Structures are given as structure tokens and as C-alpha cells.
Amino acid sequence: MILFADAWTTNSFEMSLLAATAFGLLGIALLALGFKIFEWITPKLNIEEELTKGNTAVGIMVGALLIGISLIVVRAIGG
């Protein structure tokens, strides 16, 4: 039974950093794609205009949308 993890080497740290960067960029790209698809599905809703008018409901909806998409992306990437 192993009580401690193996020591990190420079190579394993670099690969972990590279993987985290790659998956982080992939997650951001998928989040942006999900938001663009939402804008495409709802053409009558101008999000930027509504937010500049101070429409809090649209802000809450966009925040909930981004959290929902983020949860889906995390499960898709993480397995």
C-alpha cells in the first residue's frame, strides 16, 4: 500500500501545466460557443442593449446560462 504520491518531476509538472492550459482554453472556447448558440436561438433578445438599460433579469439569466453551460463543459471534458 502506497501512502504518499510519487514525487513530481519537471517533466510531469510541465505536462500537467500544458494539459491544464489546453483544457482551460478548450473550456473557454466551448463556453463562448454555447453563448453564441444561445444568441442564435434567441434573435429577438438583444442582450447588450438590455443590460445597458439596466435589465437585471437579463443579467441573471445570462449568468445562469453561463453557469449551466460551464457545468456541461466540465462534465464533457472531465468525463
Q: Looking at the domain assignment, is residue 39 inside a domain?
A: yes
Residue 47 lies in a domain: yes
Low-confidence ranges of the chain (pLDDT < 70): 1-8, 79
DSSP string, 6-69: PPPPHHHHHHHHHHHHHHHHHHHHHHHHHHHHHHHH-TT--HHHHHHTT-HHHHHHHHHHHHHH
Is 18 part of any domain? no
Domain that holds residue 64: 26-78
Q: Number of folded domains in the chain?
A: 1
pLDDT, tens digit, 9 for 90 and up, residues 36-49: 999 999 999 999 99
Q: Whole-model pTM? A: 0.75
In a domain, 10, yes or no: no
